[in-house]
Amino acid sequence: MTPAKDLTGGRSALGNSVEHRQGSSEAGDSGTENTHRAGFACFVGRPNAGKSTLLNAMVGEKIAITSDKPQTTRRAVRGIVTRPNAQLVIVDTPGLHRPRTLLGERLGDLVRTVWSDVDVVGFCLPADEQVGPGDRRIAAELAEQASATPVIGIVTKTDRVSRERVAAQLLAVSALADFADIIPVSAVAGAQVDLLTDLLIQRLPTGARLYPDAETTDEPLETRIAELVREAALDGVREELPHSLAALVTEIVPPEPASDRSSSAARSGQLTKVFVTIFVERSSQKAIVLGHKGSRLSDVGRRARLQIEPLLGTRVYLDLHVAVAKDWQRDPKQLRKLGFDS
């Protein structure tokens, strides 16, 4: 293990839009004049380890939703970092935990499929939490199931603790596994995010671009919209309700064609109609999401719309409906309906 710098500063799990090329993944330059590297990395870790926030910081825009609620991420979310001599596709994965539902089992299987397909793994461990049994379990599984894949230990959330605490966490993480590198980062402060990108790129095989230069994700638009609605709905809810929330876009009605298609001003004045259903598991949960006379649902819609409009480039009419899908996390048919296929 080499510490990285000092304390300053079908459809596979990777998607079906590209064919994942096999090639050398030995460490090397992150891009020289005559060498182009391209490939896949993934972030793994316990729930709430800072994986999604780190993905967004590396890509430079919001790709994955974030929340202080554990298990917010439920899909393999791909973000794309493109440099002149490299293209890194980062897969953010759900937090690994002992599953209590069929959904939890499927998410765990998804994570294990992803880390078997990538060129390098980033194992995220927050600086403000002790290394625990969950971390040791993930480290053991990585050693058993992805022994040929280099793993970089990433100590996240360093902005929340003292330098002394970061140093102690680096020592604890170094004892956890034989990491290719260990690096402390802060996605919020931007500390060492670029260096982490360099370290991941060094582990990619040489090869051509996998995606167009301007592309930052291959997530379907409907999925991104549904996730933004779910993120807004998660804010302020407690206990079991965060785990019971799901969102599904049922329809998007595009605006009438603009007379001047090249005019961004004309397009921004148009109206896109978006219809989304928020699912809960019990009627009592539906009442919480709606709020008094629908006040809470209106607030969810307002906050979600503010994020959806820049995504679509138009004004948005957002229609939200709340429905009960009893115990959907344990129902294979409901999971398929919500896009959590086995």
Tally of domains in the chain: 2
Residues 168 and 309 in one domain: no
Of the listed ranges 34-38, 122-126, 147-151, 260-264, the one predicted with least confidence: 260-264
pLDDT in tens, 265-289: 555 678 999 999 999 999 999 999 9
Per-residue pLDDT at 3: 43
CATH at 130 = 3.40.50.300
* Integer Cα distance of 58 and 80 in angstroms: 9
Domain interval for residue 295 = 221-337
Residues 11 and 157 in one domain: yes
**106 — pLDDT class (breaks 50, 70, 90):** confident
User: What is the percentage of the chain residues whose pLDDT exceeds 70?
Assistant: 86
**Tokens matching residue 17:** 């839009």
User: What is the percentage of the chain residues whose pLDDT exceeds 90?
Assistant: 68
Residue 17: pLDDT over 90: no
Higher-pLDDT residue of 136, 25: 136
CATH at 276 = 3.30.300.20
Residues 242 and 299 in one domain: yes
**49 — pLDDT class (breaks 50, 70, 90):** very high
Domain end call among 154, 171, 202: 202
Residues 188 and 266 in one domain: no
- Residue pair 272/255 in contact (Cβ under 8 Å)? The answer is yes
Residues 40 and 150 in one domain: yes
pLDDT in tens, 74-83: 888 999 999 9
Residue 72: pLDDT over 90: no
Range 103-115 average pLDDT = 86
pLDDT in tens, 199-209: 999 999 999 99
Per-residue pLDDT at 32: 47
Per-residue pLDDT at 306: 96
Per-residue pLDDT at 276: 98
The amino acid that residue 72 corresponds to is T
Residues 104 and 171 in one domain: yes
Task: Flag whether 165 is in a domain.
Answer: yes
Residue 256: pLDDT over 70: yes
Per-residue pLDDT at 107: 83
Per-residue pLDDT at 8: 30
Higher-pLDDT residue of 166, 256: 166
3-state secondary structure labels for all residues of the chain: CEECCCCCCCCCCCCCCCCCCCCCCCCCCCCECCECEEEEEEEECCCCCCHHHHHHHHHCCCCCCCCCCCCCCCCCEEEEEEECCEEEEEEECCCCCCCCCHHHHHHHHHHHHHHHHCCEEEEEEECCCCCCHHHHHHHHHHHHHCCCCCEEEEEECHHHCCHHHHHHHHHHHHCCCCCCEEEECECCCCECHHHHHHHHHHCCCECCCCCCCCCCCCCCHHHHHHHHHHHHHHCCCCCCHHHHCEEEEEEEECCCCCCCCCCHHHHHCCEEEEEEEEEECCHHHHHHHHCHHHHHHHHHHHHHHHHHHHHHCCEEEEEEEEEECCCHHHCHHHHHHCCCCC
pLDDT in tens, 118-129: 999 999 999 999
Residues 169 and 240 in one domain: no
Per-residue pLDDT at 103: 85
Residues 190 and 249 in one domain: no
- Across the chain, what does the average pLDDT equal? 87
Residues 228 and 198 in one domain: no
Per-residue pLDDT at 67: 86
